[in-house]
Structure 1
Amino acid sequence: MPDILETYRVESAEQAAQLLHPLRGEILSRLTQPASATEVARELGEPPQRINYHMKALEKAGLVQRAGTRQIKNLVEVLYLAIARTYILSDTLGLGETERKRLRDQRSLTHLLHVSERIKSDTIRLLDYTDEGREIPSAALHTSVCLADETERKQFLEEYVELVRRLAAKYQRDEGTRYNLTLAAYPQPGKESD
C-alpha cells in the first residue's frame, strides 16, 4: 500500500481547483484508507459512475493514488488512496511567473514563506489534539521596531540572535515535551525605505 503524507502543500492552480471542488474535497476526505469508487459512492449517496469520474480527475491532478485492486464477483475494483491527510494551499499559489522568479532570487524571503507555511501545517496537525479535549500550549508574539540604519539593523539582529540562542540553551533538555520556536525579522511591507 502506498504511503500517505500527513500534510501536503498544494502549489499548482490545477490541484487547488480540484481540492476546492466541493464533491472532490469530500471524496478526498473519505480516502484516508484505500477505498473503491463504489464504497465512496455508497458513503456519499452518489452514483458510482459520478464518483469514479471525480476520482480519476483527482488521480490525474496527483491528489489520489492507486492503492491496489480487489476482485468483487466478475468485477475488478480499483482502490484509491489520498496522497495526504490534510492539504495546505501554498502562499505562492496566486503568484505569477515573474513573482515566483523574484522569490527564488530572494533566499531569505523564500525561507520566511516556507517557515510560515510550516507553522500553518503544524497548527492544522495540532488541531487533531483539540478533538481529544486537550489544551494545546502555544504562544505567539508580534511586535515591530524602528532601526535607524544598516549598522543598527546588523547590531539588532546580532543581539536578537544571541539572546534567543542563550534563552534556548538555558531551557534545552534531552527529555520532556519538545516545542518548535520560530522567530522572524523582516521589513514591514510598504515601509522598507523609511
Structure 2
Amino acid sequence: MLDEYVVQDPMQARAILNPARLRVLLAFDVPKTSAQVAREIGEVPNRVGHHIRLLRQLGLLVMCYRQGRRVFLERKARNFRIPFSLTPYSSLEEALGLASAEILQLLRQAVAHWQQELDEEFILVGEDFPKLPRSPVKILDLVLTSEQVAMLEEMLRNLSNNGKRGIAGRRYKLAVLLAPVH
C-alpha cells in the first residue's frame, strides 16, 4: 500500500467523494474480503460488492492475494490527495459544509451503534438524532487555537490511559474531530 496517492482521474475523484464508496474504500485498511468489509460496515454484501467492483476498475482497490476462492483486497494508498479542480464543488466552503454534514451523520450512526452495545434505556433527543443515552451527549462547534488543540490532545492522552476503568462503573465513548478552518 502506498502512503499517498494523488488522484488525477475525475472518475477516481468522484468515486472517492461518494460517501458510500469512501466508507467501503476506507474499510480496506488491511487485506480483507468483500464479505468481511460488508460485515464490518453493516452493509448488504451485494451493495458492497457493487462498490468494490467500481473501486477495483478505477484502481483504488488492489488484490493482495487469494485463499482458495476468497480474494483479499486492500486500498491503493493510506491517503488520497484529490486536486480541488477534480471535485464537483464550486468553493472550499461548499466542500467543507457537505463534509461536515457527512461527518455529523457518521457520528449519529456511531452513537446509534454504541446505543445497541450499552443495552440500557434510552430517550430520543433532537429532531433526527438516534436514541441517545440519558448520560450527557454533546456535539460542539468550537474554534480552537493551536495551543488549545495541543492542550486538548494532551488531556485526551491522559484520559485514554485512565479510561479502562470507566466512571462510576460506566464506560463512555468520545468522538473528537479536529479540522482546520480558514
Q: TM-score range by the shorter chain?
A: 0.3 to 0.5
After TM superposition, the score normalised by the length of structure 1 is 0.43
* Structure of greater Rg: 1
After TM superposition, the score normalised by the length of structure 2 is 0.46
